[in-house]
Structure 1
Amino acid sequence: MRKTLTKIPALLIIIIFLLPATTVKAEIPEISGSAAIAFDLETDELIFTKDIDKKVYPASITKLLTALVFSDHYSSKKTEYMLYPQEGKLVIPYAIYWNLKNIAVGTEISADDIMHALLLASLNDASTVIALNISETEEDFVKLMNEKARELGMMNSNFVTTSGLHDDNHYTTAFDLMLLLKAAYNDPWIREVSMKQSYEMKSKNETLGLLENRNKHIGLLGNIMGKTGYTGEAGRCFAGVYERDGKTIGNIILNSTNDGVNVLVFEETEKMVNAAFEEEKVIRLSKSEEVGVITVSYRPYKIVGPTKEIEVPVKSADTISYYGNDVNLSETEMDISYLDLSSDEIKENSVVGVASVQERLVTKKVDLVSTLDVEAKILKTHLFSYILIVFFTVTFVVLILIATISKRRKKAARRRRIESARRSNKYVDDSKRNRFK
């Protein structure tokens, strides 16, 4: 016998699961940035969201993608020298040749020094050095960048330049940059370089100058890495990673107001990060909360008689929660599925199904358990009839036994009489008696 499972009505599902989620919403701190995201780097959970799928310009945050492709090709040969190309002099400042030293074309600089120039001081010609030492043309290198972006899942981005200098067709989203920031954080070379306050850059033959990290939060507020960006079209941008109390949070603000001194975007980031570390999750499904009723079919008398049904309340074995941001509240769905179990397999607190919540990047699951022992409930429900069946069965068996014993006794008595008659020669069996007729 297998059970027929009935989910709770759709309206009740809406009342139980959707209503609580719509009553508690995470309020992102007020910022001027037109798009922003805060997320847990370890779990991929979104904490705060603001227009995270909106098309925006990433400016020099682009260099994180350039750095990832660079790391793919040079992480095992960081001490090798790269040649400074003529095209580097065509790149507008900030640049090595302009802000540090006017080096000659063909100058040899180690890959590690170029990575520092790219990430700390965000020097635009460093990206050109990388592109032209890996690919024939910058356009060819950009193809590698876009391939890497797709590999990371950045499906709403397109890159045209290696530095992030403006192009109308060079765009991304806050959500896509979340994927990029996480990948950069997980790259040991990029993380090692990004954590530094400053670095003395050298070529093969001379010192070029001191690189200062343009990330104003480095070493403060738990910040361990970050990348700035600015163009007139992109506004002020910042992507940073913060560690506190065993938790790692990434935060991105795009198109923040340009205050002229590049302070406002960091103030807005601080507000978001502080709030993100303190934000509590919304409970979508509580532990021991009843989520529905399943109907189990069974035969009270096993192989005979009609099929009956019993309703079994089902509860959650644990809690499912998430951050109450716009994306989670609008996209997250609860799905309930049940196992195909027979009535004798369902005990109290035995697993009968699974409830799952699908966030954009995270699936959370909890077991659904029975609130009663089905066989014990069936026994209790039909106990009187079972007693009667046992009584009549026992009575019938006893009567059969009595009849059988009586019959055997009569046969035994007859045998004894016959045997006694034979011994006294008074018995003649029927076959011999018939001979004298």
Structure 2
Amino acid sequence: MGQLANLGRLLLMCLVLLPTVGLASEYPPEVTAKSAIVMEVSTGKVLYGKEAAERRYPASTTKIMTLITALEYGKLDDVVTASENAASTEGSSLWLTQGEQLKMLDMFYGIMLISGNDATVAVAEHIAGSVENFAKLMTDKAHALGAVNSNFVNTSGLPNENHYTTAYDLAKITAYGYKNPLFSQIVSTQHKIVPWPGKDHDRDLYNENKMLWLYDGANGVKTGYTDAAGRCLVSAAKRNGTQLVVVVLDSDHMWDDSIKLLDYGFAQLKQVPVISQGDILKTVKINEGKTGDIKLLATNDISVPMADNEHDKYSTVIDAPNKLNAPITSGQKLGTVKVMYNNIEVASSDLIADRSVEKKSFFGLLWGSVWGFLTHVIRNFA
């Protein structure tokens, strides 16, 4: 009897718990962050937001913008010399000494893995002459990306009342960063050895972003903390071709908040095939060819992250001529197809010729002209 009672209680618990599993993906989770957002990278689609447009201090998540700006204005092979100003920068550090030299790329790893404030100053001074000049480049770039509620006055995120951003802006900035393969590589690196001139050992850097170990598919990006900003985290993960960015600002439990939001974001989307490699997307007429037309084939598969009931937000645009002159070579690129989300390009594929077409010989062209003339005459006569 006792065993039956226990079994009954177990079944009842299962019945109570089963609906909860569905609710976790159906309803947005409760998070402790004052501001938060979930964004899908390719479309910029916002899947969740909480005070996402409210200005806040970003702390060291600032360094995402620092890295993007440095990648676009700097040269990876440049040797950067740490000034006295850089070496004496307060806060988290790569332990640079005045006059120490490192390659730009090594500085980048020091900035993103262990949040080296000194390295951000050294890079800024090398590229723009001063932190102030570099910070202006950061702000201008952010505004160009649509992150218009951001203003940067330093490269590290140290507190300043004029240094601010929003959860939405940080997500927008980070989504842009993922267009650069080197950005993706750096922010997803768990461990890096960086030279330490003058020492008998190298710098052994482990990424402070625990999400790289905590979350399946995690591939970025940056932690941050100051008393003014609270605990901040920009995290990212890629699963089944879907890349998400999550921002939590001033969070009591930033790891838990980020995991909940990533889970929620992935539950809202599924990858839907739109184009398959080899699909015929257009037929093009061929002038002066032994064959009258060719077909244009897609060179790669395209799937898109889609939520329910938003098929009408996607469209395809084919950029290819209606007519071409022979000769044509099989596999020759003759156009592109773009997949658009609300008029924003999210994916593309080259379009290639399905076969070769030789140009007609002189006599073939002559006979074609004669035949065309005779056909015209016969039609008019009839």
Q: TM-score, normalised by structure 1?
A: 0.55
Q: What is the Cα deviation at residue 188 of structure 1?
A: 1.8
The equivalent of 1:126 in structure 2 is 119
Contact 1:44 1:362 in 2 (8 A): no
The equivalent of 2:210 in structure 1 is 216
Change (3 A) 1:320 1:225: closer
Alignment of 1:391-402 (within 5 A): none
Change (3 A) 1:248 1:87: same
Change (3 A) 1:82 1:140: same
Contact 1:26 1:48 in 2 (8 A): no
Change (3 A) 1:26 1:210: same
Any stretches of 5+ residues in structure 2 without a counterpart? 1-24, 271-306, 312-339, 345-382
Partner Cα distance (1:256, 1:238) in 2: 8
Alignment of 1:83-232 (within 5 A): 83-97=81-95, 103-203=96-196, 206=199, 207-219=201-213, 220-232=215-227
Q: What is the Cα deviation at residue 160 of structure 1?
A: 1.1
Q: What is the Cα deviation at residue 267 of structure 1?
A: 1.2
Q: What is the Cα deviation at residue 43 of structure 1?
A: 2.0
Q: What is the Cα deviation at residue 322 of structure 1?
A: 5.4
The equivalent of 1:237 in structure 2 is 232
- Tell me which amino acid in the other structure corresponds to 1:266: W
The equivalent of 1:274 in structure 2 is 263
For residue 248 of structure 2, give the secondary structure of its aligned residue in structure 1. Answer: strand
- Tell me which amino acid in the other structure corresponds to 1:90: S
1:156-181 deviation line (CA, Å, top 9, x unaligned) = 11111110111111111111111111
Partner Cα distance (2:225, 2:310) in 1: 33
Matched, 1:37 2:37: yes
Contact 1:62 1:163 in 2 (8 A): yes
Question: How large is the Cα RMSD of the aligned pairs?
Answer: 2.6
Contact 1:110 1:203 in 2 (8 A): no
- Tell me which amino acid in the other structure corresponds to 2:188: M
Change (3 A) 1:159 1:26: farther
Partner Cα distance (2:256, 2:73) in 1: 36
For residue 109 of structure 2, give the secondary structure of its aligned residue in structure 1. Answer: helix
Change (3 A) 1:53 1:88: same
Contact 2:246 2:261 in 1 (8 A): yes
Any stretches of 5+ residues in structure 1 without a counterpart? 1-24, 98-102, 258-263, 282-318, 324-360, 366-437
% identical aligned pairs: 29
Q: What is the Cα deviation at residue 255 of structure 1?
A: 0.8
Contact 2:37 2:47 in 1 (8 A): yes
1:265-308 deviation line (CA, Å, top 9, x unaligned) = 11111111111111269xxxxxxxxxxxxxxxxxxxxxxxxxxx
Partner Cα distance (1:364, 1:201) in 2: 43
Change (3 A) 1:138 1:222: same
- Tell me which amino acid in the other structure corresponds to 2:81: L
The equivalent of 2:60 in structure 1 is 60
Alignment of 1:16-27 (within 5 A): 27=27
For residue 62 of structure 2, give the secondary structure of its aligned residue in structure 1. Answer: helix
- Tell me which amino acid in the other structure corresponds to 1:363: N
Greater relative contact order (CA < 8 Å, ≥ 6 in sequence): 1
- Tell me which amino acid in the other structure corresponds to 1:160: V
The equivalent of 1:249 in structure 2 is 244
Q: What is the Cα deviation at residue 204 of structure 1?
A: 5.2
Moved segments of 4+, more than 2 Å: 25-28, 203-208, 319-323, 361-365
Partner Cα distance (1:177, 1:104) in 2: 31
Contact 2:61 2:157 in 1 (8 A): yes
